[in-house]
Structures are given as C-alpha cells and as structure tokens.
Copies of this chain bind each other. A is one copy, B any other.
Amino acid sequence: MSEKWYLGAGAQNDIVLSTRIRLARNLSEYPFPAKLGIPERIKVNNLIKDALSCEGAPKLKYIEMKTLSQYEAVSLAERHLISPEFASSGDGRALLLAPDEAVSIMLCEEDHIRLQVMYAGLALEEAFAYANTIDDIIDSKLHYAFDERIGYLTQCPTNLGTGMRASVMLHLPALTRCGQMQRLVSTVSKLGLAIRGSYGEGSAAKGDLYQLSNQITLGISEKSAIENLKSITLQIAAQERAAREELCKDINYEDKIFRAYGILSQARLLTSDEFMELISFVRLGAVKKLLPIDEHTVNDLLVSMQPATISLSVERPLDAQERDILRAQRVRDAIKEE
C-alpha cells in the first residue's frame, strides 16, 4: 500500500487537515453525463483514461464503479475521493485514482471530469498547480467545452467559469466550543466562501471538522479565488489558535482532553459519533503536546475509523456492533503503538 496523502505533514497542520482542489470539465463533443446512455458514458470514460495514459501523466488506476462492493464505494466517499452521490450508483461511472490517493478523477459524475487533487495541510497553490498540470494533459488530447466569455461549461451553473472548487478541511474545536461558528459562517459567506460540515452542504460538523470553500467561479480567476481562500483560512486559524490558548488554561477543558484520551485508550465499543466527538479533543491534546500521541496518528484514525472504511480494512461488510468493537480495538492499538 502506498503512503497515503493524509499521513504526510502539512503547513498549518495544527488546524488545517487537508487542501482539496477540484476542477469540473466536460468534453465539447458529448452531452453532459445526465444525457448520456451507459455505452456512451463508457466511451467518454475511456477517452479520458487514454488521454492520461501518456508519458508525464500521473499513474492512475482505472476503477469501474459497478465492480465495487457497497462498502468499497462508500469508503471512497468517506475518504473524500468521490462524492457520496457517485458512490450510490455505479452505472457508466469510473474513477481514476492515484496510489497515494492524492489524485482522484470521477468520470461521468455530474460532469464528464471531476478532477481532484488533495494534499495534507494548507497547500492551495501546490494542489492547484498539480491539478493544472493534469488538466493541461487532458486539454492537450481532448477538446473541452469552453466558452471564451464564460469559461468552462459545466452542468450546474454554480460551477461555470473556472469550474474550480478549492477547499480546506479545518479542525475548529475551540471556536466551536466558544460558540463562534455561527458568526463565522455568516462572515465568510459575505466574503464569497462557505463553511460547512466536513461532508459539505447539510452535513454536520462531526469532530469539529469544517470544510471551507470558495463559492464563486464566475468572473474571478483561479489565482484570486485561491488567494482569498488562503487569506481567510489563515485568519480563521489565527482565531482558532487564540481560542485554544484560552481554552487550554481551563482545567475543566484539560480534563476533557485527558478523559477523551483515557476512553479511547480503553473502550471496547466505540460508535462513529462518539469516536468523532472524542478524537476532536484528542487531536487538540496532540497538537498541544499534552498527550503522548502524534497528530498524524490522529489524522490517520479520522480517515480510517469511518464505518465503510473499517469494513474495507477487513474486506467484508460488518454489522454495527462488529464495527464498534473493531473500531475500539483499532483505536486502542494505534494509541498503544505510540
């Protein structure tokens, strides 16, 4: 197994878990996927796969979604490699995936191409540069649906223009605890950004994880969008750090951090929700060097302890109790190894 992107260290990693750049692209010769039958989708998928089989392109594995079991597909969504919607139906859909999972390309999701680059920490420019490189390779082989005035054409008008969605995953336990999130949501929306639960629109912020992303794709360059997102990320990170500083002076909060660690070290049953609640405290304790656990171990657990990803690790579907037992065991083992 290759080293996964999330096992690396990244800038601002005390607060920023990861950066994602997603580009939406369509081929000009074909209607949007919704209007394509399965054979035509497969044709489109193969065109794109072939375009990326050349020298200089990243090595990607081609996965037909219909060949995956449900937990394999859902695990990909849990790891943010595909959209939850893409996991739900496999017909005529395929995924191009890098071994380290830093690059994933959904084929025939809403658009023909949903190219994603995901890096650890805050790395917007780097992720964008790499996405751009891959985008250029495809562009040199195939013909994108592009309008000189509007930009890239996409099925959903919210993506028209750059077709780019840049986002960062933030761990904001202190701002959440201090009741600052409501204010933050409204502030960033005025700045053309959105802050949401870790699985996007409508999802809860489990583990105090939030996704901050640009909303505007039209009439703005990728560079400006990224600069804006980066600058606001750094401001939020500074606020979160200040709030953490205050919070950690409170012995009641320190107590909660250590208790969460104690429970995760010993529990025999852990639901996903409880795990997320406790690991948030432990991540802060790790970052603050209060706990004998590395934050990268925590980041790894955040990804690998999700329901379908646990099933994937034993290569069979598990019922809820089996999953809770296995989750508890894996968490104990990870803590013991430190």
- Which residues of A line the B interface, CB within 8 A? 251-252, 254-255, 258-259, 261-269, 321, 325, 328
Measured CB to CB, the nearest residue on chain B to A264 is B262
Chain B residues closer than 8 Å to A252, beta-carbon distance: 269
Please, how many angstroms separate the alpha-carbon atoms of A264 and B261 in the complex? 11
Chain B residues closer than 8 Å to A263, beta-carbon distance: 259, 262-263
Please, how many angstroms separate the alpha-carbon atoms of A89 and B123 in the complex? 71
A258-B268, A262-B263, A262-B267 known; 20 other A-B pairs, CB under 8 Å?
A: A251-B268, A251-B269, A251-B321, A251-B325, A252-B269, A254-B268, A255-B267, A255-B268, A255-B328, A259-B262, A259-B263, A259-B266, A261-B266, A262-B262, A262-B264, A262-B265, A262-B266, A263-B263, A265-B265, A265-B266
Please, how many angstroms separate the alpha-carbon atoms of A109 and B268 in the complex? 50
- Closest Cβ–Cβ distance, residue A52 to chain B (whole Å): 48
Measured CB to CB, the nearest residue on chain B to A291 is B266
- Closest Cβ–Cβ distance, residue A290 to chain B (whole Å): 10
Chain B residues closer than 8 Å to A266, beta-carbon distance: 258-259, 261-262, 265
A/B interface sample: 27 pairs, CB < 8 A: A251-B268, A251-B269, A251-B321, A251-B325, A252-B269, A254-B268, A255-B267, A255-B268, A255-B269, A255-B328, A258-B266, A258-B267, A258-B268, A259-B262, A259-B263, A259-B266, A259-B267, A261-B266, A262-B262, A262-B263, A262-B264, A262-B265, A262-B266, A262-B267, A263-B263, A265-B265, A265-B266
Please, how many angstroms separate the alpha-carbon atoms of A327 and B269 in the complex? 27
Chain B residues closer than 8 Å to A258, beta-carbon distance: 266-268
Please, how many angstroms separate the alpha-carbon atoms of A321 and B255 in the complex? 12
Chain B residues closer than 8 Å to A255, beta-carbon distance: 267-269, 328
Please, how many angstroms separate the alpha-carbon atoms of A252 and B269 in the complex? 7
- Closest Cβ–Cβ distance, residue A187 to chain B (whole Å): 34
- Closest Cβ–Cβ distance, residue A287 to chain B (whole Å): 17
Please, how many angstroms separate the alpha-carbon atoms of A258 and B265 in the complex? 9
Chain B residues closer than 8 Å to A269, beta-carbon distance: 251-252, 255
Chain B residues closer than 8 Å to A254, beta-carbon distance: 268
Chain B residues closer than 8 Å to A267, beta-carbon distance: 255, 258-259, 262
Measured CB to CB, the nearest residue on chain B to A252 is B269
- Closest Cβ–Cβ distance, residue A304 to chain B (whole Å): 21
